[in-house]
Amino acid sequence: MTTLFDPIDLGAIHLKNRIAMAPLTRSRAVEGEVPNPLAVEYYAQRASMGLIVSEATQISRSGQGYPNTPGIFTEEQVVGWKAVTDAVHAKGGKIVAQLWHVGRVSVSAYQPDGLPGFAPSAVLPDSGKAMTPDFALVDFETPRALTVEQIQAIVGDYAHAAEMAKKAGFDGVEVHAANGYLIDQFLKDGSNKRDDSYGGSVENRSRFMLEVVAAVVAVWGADRVGIRLSPSNGSNGTKDSDPETIFVHAATALRPFGLAFLHLIEGEPGSQMASWEGAPKLASKIRDAFGGPVMLNGGLTRELAQKAIAEGRADLVSLGVPALANPDIVARWEKNAPLNAPDKATFYGGGAKGYTDYPFLETAEA
């Protein structure tokens, strides 16, 4: 029987186990949106996980929407990330960069021209808050609807960021198409009201995602590219009138690429993330439509994760908060040892506290 501790190949990326670190924004980047030097230690501490998905990294200045999030589009940022990937590789780990454009979640304070952020349509999110560069929670702004030329330019920004990720020594990239950010805004009909070839039908709403994936695959090859989807969560006010139809279509359309993995945020039965009863059923339809390796995420405990692997509902799992608070989560799960409690006050911003100082099992037991 397959277990969490068995190796797996995600396309061309060989993983020593099936426990991945989920992408976690920590808002600690320094001047120029360059990764904090402490990120080198933070990620290296977590290299026993089979795969690390980096915190979301914006592909352009205009794609940023939170304070101190690192980018992956300047030479300086590449240097910062190279130190991280080298340290992870030195510890025998694998790391992919999560490529991010927040779309309408950005507010004018982040935009080079001081105007609101961009989105498929000028639709204000009806729930959630934006965060200013000073960490203040404010109301969202009505975004600017993208022109077709601007959409094409953003596809180009993804390709550029993919190139930069390669220069920075990553093992691949994950396209962030989840959690109410730009690609998710195109997919879901609550935020996409376009009447051109990027809106309306499920084919049209998937177009931007597919163009981004094609551009990134052209840089990396499909066997080093993954994608993250969140069909059912309403993060940042995104919603769809019929998630099953759009997401099964999206997964079917992704299938011919032969991507390295699909990273799915969905509720397993019994997990905290099982926000609605249909989620596990939808996850299984999406998995079947995609046809490649699936990394499952969301509220997974050791028991739920083992069950999902053993019953074939996931090929591997990813952990967010448990990995943030437990650098040695793999060893702890192997021994069924207790876990460190996460400190929410230090999730976003700050320095080493709550970042690189969570104890390892040996230190905790000493």
Ligand X SMILES: Cc1cc2nc3c(=O)[nH]c(=O)nc-3n(C[C@H](O)[C@H](O)[C@H](O)COP(=O)(O)O)c2cc1C
DSSP 61: G
Which one, 62 or 271, has the nearer CB to ligand X?
271
Task: List % helix, strand, coil for the chain (3-state, nearest 5).
Answer: 40, 15, 45
Tokens of 19: 């426990």
* Number of helical (H) and strand (E) elements in the chain, helices listed first: 11, 14
Residues sharing a CB contact under 8 Å with residue 87, sequence separation 6 or more, in sequence order: 40, 41, 43, 44, 47
Q: Which of residues 179-198 bind ligand X (CB under 6 A)?
A: 179
Kindly state whether residue 36 participates in binding ligand X, applying the rule CB under 6 A.
no
| Binding letters toward ligand X, positions 251-270, x by CB under 6 A | --------------x-----
Tokens of 132: 């200013």
Kindly state whether residue 33 participates in binding ligand X, applying the rule CB under 6 A.
no
Q: How far is the CB of 263 from ligand X (least distance, A)?
A: 8
> Which residue type is seen at 157?
D
Which one, 93 or 320, has the nearer CB to ligand X?
320
Task: Name the active-site residue from 42, 110, 158, 181.
Answer: 181
Please count the other Cβ atoms lying within 10 Å of the Cβ belonging to residue 247: 27
Among residues 4, 15, 23, 105, which is the contact residue for ligand X, using CB under 6 A? Answer: 23
Tokens of 36: 């904090």
Which one, 228 or 287, has the nearer CB to ligand X?
228
Which one, 101 or 176, has the nearer CB to ligand X?
176
> Which residue type is seen at 43?
Y
Q: How far is the CB of 46 from ligand X (least distance, A)?
A: 13
Kindly state whether residue 64 participates in binding ligand X, applying the rule CB under 6 A.
no
Which one, 146 or 295, has the nearer CB to ligand X?
295
Number of residues forming the site for ligand X (CB under 6 A): 21
Which one, 349 or 359, has the nearer CB to ligand X?
349
Is the CB of residue 204 less than 8 Å from the CB of residue 197?
A: yes
Kindly state whether residue 24 participates in binding ligand X, applying the rule CB under 6 A.
yes
Concerning whether 42 is annotated as a catalytic residue, the answer is no
Tokens of 4: 């969490």
Q: Which of residues 126-165 bind ligand X (CB under 6 A)?
A: none
Report the candidate in 98, 84, 10 with the shortest Cα–Cα distance to residue 53.
Answer: 98
Is the CB of residue 296 less than 8 Å from the CB of residue 288?
A: no
Among residues 188, 228, 302, 313, which is the contact residue for ligand X, using CB under 6 A? Answer: 228
Among residues 68, 236, 297, 326, which is the contact residue for ligand X, using CB under 6 A? Answer: 297
Kindly state whether residue 347 participates in binding ligand X, applying the rule CB under 6 A.
yes
Kindly state whether residue 299 participates in binding ligand X, applying the rule CB under 6 A.
yes
> Which residue type is seen at 320?
G
DSSP 66: S
Report the candidate in 190, 317, 308, 187 with the shortest Cα–Cα distance to residue 248.
Answer: 187
Residues at the contact surface with ligand X, assessed by CB under 6 A: 22-25, 55-56, 98, 176, 178-179, 228, 265, 297-300, 319-322, 347
What amino acid positions are annotated as catalytic residues?
181
